[in-house]
Amino acid sequence: MSAAGAADGNWGDGTRSVHAGLPDAVPGQPFLPGPVFAAPYHLDPERGPSAAADGYGRPDNPTRRLLETAIGELEGADCRVFASGQAAITGLLLTVLRPGDTVLLPADGYFSVRSFASDTLEQLGVRVVLVPTAGPYPSFDGVRLVLLETPANPGLDVADVRAVAAAAHAAGALVAVDNTTATPLGQRPLDLGADVVVASGTKALTGHSDLLLGYLATRDAGLRDAATTWRNATGGVPGAFDCWLAHRSLATLDLRLARQTANARALADLLVARPDVTGVRWPGRPEDPAYPVASAQMRRVPGVLSFDLGDERRVARFLGASRLVAAATSFGGLHTTADRRAQWGDDTAPGFVRFSCGIEDTADLLADVAAALDAAG
């Protein structure tokens, strides 16, 4: 088996996920080599670091490079991994933006990015404009960077990446897409016209709720090199064991997403039929406002949905009554979780719930949620 084969466009998602980034087969060696733990490496006494790929652990690690190859194959671009999704996004913003530049950010996207924009970017002289994911979008004249998050976290609106990219490029702006919620098996933003992808690998990409990871992927060599320089200079690299865990986890990505999506579809149908649940959002439902764009743009819709239970007390009763739904932040893991986003300072209603379907049996999950809602009153 070889890494080159995983890039074969004729292979399905499951095959590509299993084989992504694996080195050529060597008799007696494992499919995926174990993590390499090293800070310094032996150097050639005469030639120094130019004699080998690895010299010092911050910029150099073979386990990290294998993971970057794997994610790059799935996104269809060169990849650089970071210590977290926030590190990848902030690294991109600070690599690209300069005082006097204008950046468009999602008004309904991940609140930590908006906090970073107000606490850091604006203090550096960058003009920040917040735009709803679903639009309408203002003129892109004079804009340096447009950052989309689609589907948005936590509201799950969807942006038309192809249309936004075309308009932004006509005005000379770069387009970045946060692909955390969709994953590269759900959509490939670079194929839709985006210049760069950023994402948290903590969530559905690795899916086991046991590591922190972020990445940036682009086909622009200049942007790739600038982001690499920023990452190496600021030190926001993931450790070797996290990289190895992430690569190991990619093999089941297709299987995990399939069950999560099936659970979300069934759960959305259950929730919309209940009069005690409001505001159900899942872009895979034909009745959802995001469905027309999502169905045309996405290859699959993720296992995340949202709804409102009215107030924080009812959310607490619901979670207390459930046997399968854990109260936890983050999403995309094997276990079903629910997060009342307002408790983190996000600007959502008190009873708003972001619900992440795990890989439990669909019938069991539906029965548990229904019983917990009944018990919550």
CATH, residue 33: 3.40.640.10
Q: Which domain holds residue 152?
A: 3-250
pTM for the complete prediction?
A: 0.95
Q: How confident is the model at residue 367 (pLDDT cuts 50, 70, 90)?
A: very high
Residues 202 and 305 in one domain: no
Domain end point (choices 204, 230, 250): 250
The total number of structural domains that make up the chain = 2
CA dist., res. 332 & res. 256, Å (int): 9
Number of H helices, E strands in the chain: 11, 12
What pLDDT, in 10s, does the model give residues 195-247?
999 999 999 999 999 999 999 999 999 999 999 999 999 999 999 999 999 99
Q: What is the CATH number of the domain that holds 279?
A: 3.90.1150.10
Domain end point (choices 250, 276, 295): 250
Domain end point (choices 233, 250, 267): 250
Residues 340 and 358 in one domain: yes
Residues 9 and 141 in one domain: yes
Average pLDDT over every residue of 170-174: 98
Residues 192 and 125 in one domain: yes
Residues 305 and 164 in one domain: no
What pLDDT, in 10s, does the model give residues 74-119?
999 999 999 999 999 999 999 999 999 999 999 999 999 999 999 9
Q: Are the C-beta atoms of 72 and 217 separated by less than 8 Å?
A: yes
Residues 273 and 214 in one domain: no
Residue 286: C-alpha distances to residues 268, 282, 359 (Å): 11, 9, 23
Residues 205 and 303 in one domain: no
Q: Which two tokens stand for residue 197?
A: 């992808």
Whole-number pLDDT of residue 345: 85
With a pLDDT cut of 90, the percent of the chain lying above it is: 95
Residues 218 and 296 in one domain: no
CA dist., res. 203 & res. 70, Å (int): 16
Give the β-pairing of 78-82 and 102-106: unpaired
What pLDDT, in 10s, does the model give residues 10-67?
899 999 999 999 999 999 999 999 999 999 999 999 999 899 999 999 999 999 999 9
Residues 246 and 259 in one domain: no
Residue 154: cis peptide before it, omega within 30 degrees of 0:
yes
Whole-number pLDDT of residue 8: 56
Q: How confident is the model at residue 6 (pLDDT cuts 50, 70, 90)?
A: very low
Residues 86 and 228 in one domain: yes
Residues 107 and 233 in one domain: yes
Residue 281 phi/psi, 5-degree rounding, is -125, 130
Across the strands, what pairs with 338? 327, 355
With a pLDDT cut of 70, the percent of the chain lying above it is: 98
What pLDDT, in 10s, does the model give residues 329-344?
999 999 999 999 999 9
Residues 164 and 268 in one domain: no
Whole-number pLDDT of residue 3: 40
